[in-house]
């Protein structure tokens, strides 16, 4: 393998590595914010347990619901007594009629603005019999963070596509032009006229596949060793190889007169 091709493979390998680190970093950070949302339960209170059961039936199949726990009033009283050491006020507390509570835990990766609006609308239908408590502010902060992170990720993704194409085309054209003298001599000395085009195609296969295979090997090794919890979508690898293929095609179009 020629030095130029080897150099291009190394450069593209490192760009891909950086690109994959961007996906991993994004997934890792997004996962963190989503877990924050998952840890925010919604408490729904009602004096009628039946109403809560109806609400539960209506929403438990929603994909953004992780689980729903209905807590009986007696359990609430017991929890309050044990948590706040109210043994002396036991009888007083038992004399009060406490509401039944329903704790809704969410799947952070799905519970977004649209889903929250849908849930609020459902709960509104049962008001004033049902009231709910949710840390909207914290949820909104996490949503904003996810939104900002996603925007930054897409921007980074776009930059990587442009950067990859720019570097891949630039290097390809540079090394092909550097070899132009050799090919002129090759052709004038009687060498096969199709050889340069064939060689370009073979080199394109090396440049497209080797860096990606190395990246995949690293990724799966780390996954196998359980050092990485997040997964990279297969489509991402598809986009990566497509970018390199398109770069090779653009470079070939630029060099068409030389490759003939």
Partner 1 sequence: MLNIKGFSLSRENEKFMLINDMFIRSGMKVNIFGNNDTGRSLLLRSIHGDFYGFGGKIEIKDKPILFYKKKKKTILLENTSHLLINESVWKNIIIPLPKVTARQKQNIMELCMISKLSDKIGKKINTLSSSSKKFIELIRAVIQLPQIILIDDLENYFDDKNIVTALEICNFALNSGASVITTSKRKLENFDVYYRIQDSKVVKL
What does 6-32 look like in DSSP terms, one character per residue?
A: HHHHHHHHHHHHHHHHHHHHHHHHHHH
Instruction: For residue 184, state whether it binds partner 1 (rule: CB under 8 A).
Output: yes
Residue 256 Cβ vs partner 1, minimum distance, rounded to whole Å: 15
Q: Binders of partner 1: how many residues, by CB under 8 A?
A: 13
Q: Which is nearer to partner 1, 56 or 258 (CB)?
A: 258
Pick from 69, 75, 76: nearest CA to 53: 69
Q: Which is nearer to partner 1, 28 or 193 (CB)?
A: 193
| Number of neighbouring beta carbons within 10 Å of residue 180 | 12
Pick from 6, 1, 52: nearest CA to 171: 6
Instruction: For residue 178, state whether it binds partner 1 (rule: CB under 8 A).
Output: no
Q: Which is nearer to partner 1, 135 or 180 (CB)?
A: 180
CB under 8 Å to 244, separation ≥6 — which residues?
Answer: 12, 164, 168, 207, 208, 211, 212
CA 217 distance to own-chain centroid: 20
Site for partner 1 (CB under 8 A): which residue of 28, 166, 182, 201?
A: 182
Site for partner 1 (CB under 8 A): which residue of 21, 43, 124, 185?
A: 185
Q: Which is nearer to partner 1, 128 or 190 (CB)?
A: 190
Residue 250 Cβ vs partner 1, minimum distance, rounded to whole Å: 24
| Number of neighbouring beta carbons within 10 Å of residue 200 | 17
Instruction: For residue 193, state whether it binds partner 1 (rule: CB under 8 A).
Output: yes
Residue 249 Cβ vs partner 1, minimum distance, rounded to whole Å: 22
Residue 182 Cβ vs partner 1, minimum distance, rounded to whole Å: 6
Instruction: For residue 191, state whether it binds partner 1 (rule: CB under 8 A).
Output: yes
Instruction: For residue 14, state whether it binds partner 1 (rule: CB under 8 A).
Output: no
Identify any residues that bridge with 71 across adjacent strands, giving them in sequence order.
101
Q: Which is nearer to partner 1, 137 or 189 (CB)?
A: 189
Pick from 86, 260, 68: nearest CA to 180: 260
Angle 164-6-250 from CA coordinates, rounded to 5° = 40
* Site of interaction with partner 1 (CB under 8 A): 181-182, 184-186, 188-195
């Amino acid at each position: 393998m020629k030095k130029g091709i080897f150099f291009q493979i190394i450069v593209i390998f490192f760009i891909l590595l950086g690109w994959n680190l961007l996906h991993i970093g994004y997934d890792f950070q997004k996962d963190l914010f989503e877990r924050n949302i998952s840890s925010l339960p919604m408490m729904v209170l009602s004096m009628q347990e039946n109403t809560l059961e109806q609400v539960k039936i209506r929403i438990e199949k929603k994909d953004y619901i992780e689980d729903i726990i209905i807590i009986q009033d007696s359990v609430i009283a017991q929890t309050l007594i044990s948590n706040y050491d109210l043994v002396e006020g036991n009888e007083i507390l038992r004399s009060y009629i406490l509401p039944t509570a329903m704790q809704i835990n969410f799947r952070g990766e799905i519970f977004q603005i649209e889903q929250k609006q849908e849930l609020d609308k459902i709960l509104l239908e049962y008001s004033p019999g049902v009231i709910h408590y949710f840390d909207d502010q914290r949820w909104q902060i996490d949503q904003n963070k996810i939104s900002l992170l996603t925007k930054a990720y897409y921007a980074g993704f776009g930059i990587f596509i442009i950067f990859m194409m720019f570097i891949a085309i630039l290097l390809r054209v540079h090394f092909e032009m550097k070899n132009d003298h050799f090919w002129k001599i090759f052709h004038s000395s009687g060498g096969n006229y199709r050889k340069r085009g064939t060689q370009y195609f073979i080199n394109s296969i090396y440049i497209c596949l080797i860096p990606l295979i190395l990246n995949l090997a690293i990724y799966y090794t780390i996954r196998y060793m359980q050092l990485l919890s997040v997964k990279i979508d297969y489509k991402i690898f598809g986009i990566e190889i497509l970018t390199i293929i398109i770069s090779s095609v653009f470079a070939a179009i630029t060099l068409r007169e030389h490759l003939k």
